[in-house]
Amino acid sequence: MRRDAPHPAMPGRPQLTEEEDIVSESSSRSVPPEALDAWAAALRERFDLGEAEAPIALVLDLAGEVAHAVARPAAPFSAFVAGLVAGRAGGSPDDIRLAVDQIAALARDWQQPAG
């Protein structure tokens, strides 16, 4: 396939160039769980956070739900917004859970706008 030729799109997905597809594939590859755990530990230590303040499973569940119900690129943005909303509410574990629950509910009820 030529480098500037569009990559065949899956139904319902926009066409990607080969370069965009390579970036997409490389960013979605699996990492070993210990890599995520080590990264999470480094972030928690650097920013003085407890596990309840930076819950891996909760964030990954939110990202998965948004990725499937809305769009894959919406997942990291949604996680960012959940953190922002929780922080503005005070940043407690309950604030985090509430923000995540609200965004997950919005994703479950999401209807793609007519375009």
| Residue ranges per structural domain of the chain | 16-49, 50-110
CB 7 within 8 A of CB 17: yes
CA dihedral 85, 90, 96, 97 (to 10 degrees): -110
CA 13 to mean position of chain CA atoms: 18
Segment 82-104 shows an average pLDDT of 97
Tens digit of each residue's pLDDT (9 = 90 or more) over 10-19: 455 455 555 4
Given this model, what pLDDT does residue 59 score? Answer: 96
Segment 19-26 shows an average pLDDT of 47
Tens digit of each residue's pLDDT (9 = 90 or more) over 30-86: 778 889 999 999 999 999 999 999 999 999 999 999 999 999 999 999 999 999 999
**Predicted structure pTM score:** 0.69
